Structure 1
Amino acid sequence: MAPSGPAPHVVVIGGGIAGLAAADRLLTAGARVTLLEATDRLGGKLRTGAIEGAPVDLGAESMLARRPEAVALARSVGLAERLQPPATTSASIWSRGELRAMPKGHVMGVPGDASALAGLLSVEGVARIGRERDLDPVAVGDDVSVGEYVARRLGHEVVDRLVEPLLGGVYAGDAYRISMRAAVPQLYEALRTHGSLLDAVRAIQSKAAEHPRTDAVFTGIDGGVGRLPGAVADAVRARGGDIRTTTPVLDLTRTADNWAVRTDRETITADGVVMANPAWSASVLLARESPAASASLAEIEYASMALVTMAFRRAAVTDLPGMPAGSGFLVPPVDGRTIKAATFSTRKWGWVDQSAPDLFVLRTSIGRYGEEDQLQREDAELAGASLRDLGAAVGLTERPVATEVTRWTGGLPQYPVGHPARVARIREAVAKLPALRLCGAYDDGVGIPACIASAQRAADEIMATPTLARGTDRDAGE
């Protein structure tokens, strides 16, 4: 039996869900972990709060349940009994001043049949879809903009009225800039073998029909998905992980044998480093050790947004004749409204409904890529703009009994055409650095499961570094 040695020490930079997931994975692999978070709270864009006693999410509110990473992590940290799917998944689109049920039979807004969008589009817009197979095939190449490709094949109305609000809800971005390869990879792959966009969508739908699923697409957590970071942090601490908030990393230097991580208080020696901080922050820290990775990271842009959470007397909302069924509605930016979506939290989440039976809680989202000026407005202005749009959409004239405005400055990384290639360049450059990896929302998806997967991959690659792997082998007595 080989003599035992100290466990390898890995520093995780960033205390969002990616950093916490990385810390959890590293501890499982036998590392000693120190997590450093610059702000005074953990969780990044996952954050819970309360409005008039009702628990609500003030950031991301759901996670994809059909990817395993987030659900598995939640279960492993004791939240299995709190996982709950939405009470309703139906939604509407507020287009040209009318609320219409969300069409079915599409892939991120791209239809497989023109009839699916009848009523939402003009007669000519629907007819344009039907002529798509008459067009010459257009190759997607290495990458292509979702909006530009779909508009070329089906017309701008499809993009402006359906694709844009759906993609905007995920990325707070511009569909005419967003990479198809990154944002809708299944459509990108289908188009590599189908000359018709409609045929590509139908191929995706046919494949899904061969293996129908009845489980929920999304899930939440009783009390809010913002509970997940705290539960992971508790689990990390329980296994000896050292978590430090209000501890910004100021410098990162490779020495002969390890990494020197300088904070505003001390310099920490680490055998490995996982960087789970935003791209712009990682860029600054890597400027000396990897100029190539730093330069590519600096190119990644972010969108800012605000959430306006409001509580109303329940009767004042549910009795409105213009109130649509379902969990809320999306808003096409082409219509010039302030809000891009409204979520009826009381209807969508059972715990919100049950915790405040006399209230109706909803939230609006404001801000897309290029609309940073929206966040310069006062809270009262953002709330007022939301109320005006809600009044126009559903006839709501009641004043809320409580309002909470949450701003996410630089909250969502953008995925423009070429983003997958940029990420590949970053990974290639970083791979040349011993025992250092990156992860986060800019890496391979903005959703919670994608962030966790990115973090777990980074942790696994760090622990596979020969010098660190030997350390864990010694600890295991191998």
Structure 2
Amino acid sequence: MRKRVAVIGGGIAGLAAAVRLRDLTPPDTEIIVYEQSGALGGKLRTGELAGVTVERGAESFLMTGSDGAESAAVALVKRLGLESALVHPLKVPAALAFGGQLAPMPAGTLVGVPGDLSKLGGVAHVDPGHDVDDGRPLLAEGTDVAVGALVRQRYGDEVVDRLVDPMLGGVYAGRADRLSLDVTMPQLARTARVEHTLVAAVRAAQAASGRVPGRPVFGALDGGLSRLVGAAATASGARISLGLPVREIARTAHGWRLLLGPAATPPGPSVRNAGATAGADLVPQTDDVDAVVLAVPAKPSSRLLATIAPVAAEAVGELDYASVALLALALPPGTPLPDLSGFLVPPSEGTLVKAATFVTSKWTRPEGSPVIVRVSLGRAGEQERLQFDDAVLTERAQGELGELLGGELPPPVATWVQRWGGGLPQYAPGHLDRLATARAALPPGLVLAGAAFDGVGIPACVASGERAAEDLGKSWAA
């Protein structure tokens, strides 16, 4: 009998799951991707500014995984026939902005955690007497800690505040003192359970990565990452349903029933007086499927799981998110900028701007193009700082950017603001245990995928979607 699978969520995790399902299941399997917004891709969204391609979400992906093999994103690019479109950033250094100056980013760190204290270049000072071998591993087996707790204990506050915090802020918009080591730095977590000093643990993690010097670390696609989205949707052969949210999931004798469409709005007093019925103009829709891939953020996942898997719903619902905004400025051609790919700003500087990318310095762009700067705004717990209209947010960010660069910038010829409310998961210590609890409590035929569960970044989301599809395949074969 032909199988029907619903993938709830049309971000890259959901699309990767759909592609993998297509590869694993019989050709007549029907795959339906439900995306409540009007477009696929989630936080992969390619835009344009003053005639230049500029990403409005994720900008690139890691080329290799933690084991040194090609990342899941690269494997998907090849699967989709896009390998010839791979491009890499130019070899331009990055910097840190603090104390009114731009300082070179120290080389050889692992997400800001140094393995060679002699290469810090005055950015941070470390008392090596704190990182002593006390005869036991840094972390006990099964223990997870906040990144900041471990690094402060061994290296002191400056390394966390000036290096690790801005690096984690750039990826997660979060703070080192609140983010799980297991999730954000899994390689370091593994070696910390073996090595007795942080220096040794960082070096062991770097060695285990298998990265080859000179080989590109990051990749993107010529023409933008939306090409990955479109190609995945096509390769999956899925029926795509846009703008129709899944309101509820219920068990049936043979699988699952999805209740589709917006929630009914209770009528106001005047409507009731007219004798109207709440939601009378809404026609409920349902869809019966054999299996479900749930690839949406934590809060909607928790809501959909509440009646069918309450233990999983509770574990999933504990995850918090940070809201961020991206501002893109098109400055007049020839506007001078430092010879950098961009810079990170430590939270201790107190700025709204937490990072800037000099797009036309980092990526090859046509000669004579406007100078494009992409600015990242907002950190976890700072949502109120983003509560201004686009014009005010642009003015404030542009002023800060000028101060950080040491001079007023010329008026931009064009700008846009992209807001990602609740866009980045904040993985507190113990996240993997909570996730294991959630997955163990799921009924057969229902799997989880996406950044809410398995990490941010395109490779992590792709791998998560593919694992979800494989888990469904195993359950059918059992």
In structure 2, how many angstroms separate the alpha carbons of the residues matched to 1:98 and 1:208? 32
- Which letter maps to 2:416? E
Residue-by-residue CA offset, 1:89-127 (whole Å, 9 max, x unaligned):
521111111101110122111112322113212xxx33x
Q: Once the 2 structures are TM-superposed, how far is the Cα of residue 315 of structure 1 from its aligned partner?
A: 1.4
Distance, in Å, in 2 between the alignment partners of 1:383 and 1:137 is 51
In structure 1, how many angstroms separate the alpha carbons of the residues matched to 2:80 and 2:135? 53
Q: Is residue 398 from structure 1 mapped to residue 407 from structure 2 by the alignment? A: no
The residue aligned with 1:313 is 332
Alpha-carbon contact 2:352-2:397 (below 8 Å) kept: yes
Higher fraction of helix: 1
Indicate the residue corresponding to 1:345 in structure 2: 359
Q: Deviations over 1:102-158 (max 9, x none)?
A: 10122111112322113212xxx33x2455227786742310111111111111111
Q: CA 1:95–1:175 in structure 2 vs 1: closer, same or farther (change >3 Å)?
A: same
**Residue 118 of structure 1: aligned partner:** 121
User: Match of 1:50?
Assistant: 48
Match of 2:340 in 1: 326
Farther-moved stretch of structure 1 (285-294 vs 21-30): 21-30
Once the two structures are superposed, residues 38-74 of structure 1 have per-residue CA deviations (whole angstroms, 9 ceiling, x without a partner) of 1111100110110011111000000111133111212
Distance 1:131 1:251 in 2: 53
Once the two structures are superposed, residues 248-279 of structure 1 have per-residue CA deviations (whole angstroms, 9 ceiling, x without a partner) of: 00110011111101102511010111111111
Q: Tell me, yes or no, if the aligned pair for 1:36 and 1:249 is still in contact at 8 Å.
A: yes
The one-letter amino acid paired with 1:132 is: D
CA displacement at 1:173 relative to structure 2: 0.7
Cα shift at 1:213: 4.6
Question: In structure 2, what is the equivalent of residue 15 of structure 1?
Answer: 10
**Which of 375, 380, 384 is 2:386 aligned to?**
375
- In 2, Cα distance between equivalents of 1:461 and 1:113: 41
Percent sequence identity over aligned pairs: 44
Shift of 1:391: 1.0
Q: In terms of mean alpha carbon deviation, does 74-83 or 103-112 score higher?
A: 74-83
Q: Using the alignment, how far apart are the partners of 1:363 and 1:243 within structure 2?
A: 31
Alignment of 1:267-346 (within 5 A): 267-316=286-335, 318=336, 323-346=337-360
Give the TM-score, by structure 2 length: 0.89
Confirm whether residue 263 of structure 1 aligns to residue 265 of structure 2.
no
Post-superposition offset of 1:360: 0.5
Counterparts of 2:295 and 2:148, CA distance in 1:
30
**1:247 partnered with 2:217:** no
Partner of 1:168: 169
Q: Distance in 2 between matches of 1:426 and 1:76?
A: 31
Q: Which residue of 1 aligns with 2:32?
A: 34
For 2:377, the equivalent position in structure 1 comes to: 366
* Structure 2 letter corresponding to 1:326: L
Between the aligned partners of 1:176 and 1:391, the Cα distance in structure 2 is: 29
Distance 2:199 2:164 in 1: 14
Q: Deviations over 1:356-379 (max 9, x none)?
A: 623101110001110111221111
Which structure 2 residues correspond to residues 82-161 of structure 1 after superposition, within 5 A?
82-121=85-124, 125-126=125-126, 128-129=127-128, 131-133=130-132, 139-141=138-140, 142-161=143-162
User: In structure 1, what is the Cα distance between the partners aligned to 2:158 and 2:109?
Assistant: 15
Residues 19 and 208 (structure 1), Cα distance of their counterparts in 2 relative to 1, 3 Å cut: closer
1:187, 1:157 → 2: CA distance?
A: 19
1:74 has 2:93 as partner: no
Which residue identity lines up with residue 24 of structure 1 in the other structure? V
Gaps in structure 1 of 5+ consecutive residues: 1-5, 471-478
Query: Equivalents in 2 of 1:422, 1:414: separation in Å?
Result: 13
In structure 1, the partner of 2:273 is none
Alpha-carbon contact 2:296-2:452 (below 8 Å) kept: no
Could you tell me how far apart the structure 1 residues matched to 2:199 and 2:82 are? 41
Tell whether the 8 Å contact from 1:146 to 1:180 is kept in structure 2 after alignment.
yes
Distance 1:93 1:290, change over 3 A: same
* Post-superposition offset of 1:282: 1.0
The letter for the 2-side match of 1:403 is: T
CA contact (8 A) 2:138 2:197 kept: no
When normalised by structure 1's length, the TM-score is: 0.89
Gaps of 5+ in 2: 66-70, 262-283
Give distance in 2, aligned partners of 1:71 and 1:439.
19
| Aligned pairs, number | 445
